[in-house]
Amino acid sequence: MIIDFHIHPFCKEATVKPNLGEAVRRMFLKGRENQLSIEEAIRMGEAFFRNRSVEDIIRDMDDAGVDKACIVAMDLSTYYGVELVTNEDVAKIASDYPDRFIPFAGVDPSMGRLAVDKFVYAVDELGCRALKLVPPVQHFDFSDPKHDPLWEAALERDVIVWTHTAHQKSHPDSDARLGHPMLIEPVTLKYPDLKIVLGHCGFPWPWEAWSLVTRRPNVYLDVSAYPDLYNHMPWDAYSKYAAEDKVLFATDYPLRGFKDTLEALERVDISEEFRKKILGDNAKALLGI
């Protein structure tokens, strides 16, 4: 079984708040006014949100041999006033296709108590299985103790926290420093039983990500977004330091393709046992499938 641990369900069944045109303008045109017109940016958004359906995503999965995918919501309310796929969306899509999708909720930690309440509702009432965060784009510091109530709510529910630990190229005003893997360290020390997945290989800090994964029992890594840089991943170090069970296949679809990522992983010089763990066995164990 192949499980993709991180995809965006960009499709006409998903919601963009306040609306597609305004969301695109707020997120992607700031600092790019002379490079990308609003019309061009909206056309890019329409290609995902108006011209494609959930069935198209499933066809892409089938074509690549991907059995299940974790679909993520993204809440950028504080910095942009935007939600790019809602928790209700991912819950509904997963409910309609329970054999194919696993819903991950998104909240904006800067909203404080409201973020905790929204997360609790997403898990307790909507059935979301994890929390998805994007510190460089949401502009929050993962290590700040003011976010502890959110980690405590996740720990109480035995819910995974997936967090973007990489720089962010698509948003011109994102803060790469907030994607540094070592900002996760203080939280792992305070909450050693909290399950955390470091997203996007940790690039450009793959060794710092490796350090966390090999030292913290409940920290994992997904390999999404950068298949063209897999030759810079310390694969042998994961094997030598008994961390083969901590690496998860993911793509960041549709920003990166299923086939392209799978083909890149096939070219990586690792054992077939390790590859099998990455492709699905590790995700099955972490998600309790």
Domains, the chain, ranges and CATH? Answer: 3-287 (3.20.20.140)
What local confidence, expressed as pLDDT, does residue 15 receive? Answer: 96
Give the mean model confidence (pLDDT) for residues 195-219.
Answer: 98
pLDDT greater than 70 at residue 217:
yes
What local confidence, expressed as pLDDT, does residue 154 receive? Answer: 98
pLDDT greater than 60 at residue 31:
no
Q: What are phi and psi of 126, to 5 degrees?
A: -95, -15
Instruction: Tell me which amino acid residue 58 is.
Output: I
Per-residue confidence band for 177, with pLDDT thresholds at 50, 70 and 90: very high
pLDDT greater than 80 at residue 230:
yes
Per-residue confidence band for 18, with pLDDT thresholds at 50, 70 and 90: very high
What local confidence, expressed as pLDDT, does residue 30 receive? Answer: 62
Distance CA 165, CA 287 (A): 20
Distance CA 277, CA 142 (A): 28
Give the mean model confidence (pLDDT) for residues 261-278.
Answer: 98
Distance CA 37, CA 47 (A): 16
Instruction: Find where tokens 């369900």 sit.
Output: 9
Distance CA 21, CA 43 (A): 9
pLDDT greater than 80 at residue 248:
yes
Q: What are the tokens at 249?
A: 């296949």
Distance CA 177, CA 246 (A): 24
Classified as helix, coil or strand, 224 is coil
Give the mean model confidence (pLDDT) for residues 224-249.
Answer: 98
187 contacts 194 by C-beta, under 8 angstroms: yes
What local confidence, expressed as pLDDT, does residue 247 receive? Answer: 98
Give the mean model confidence (pLDDT) for residues 53-82.
Answer: 97
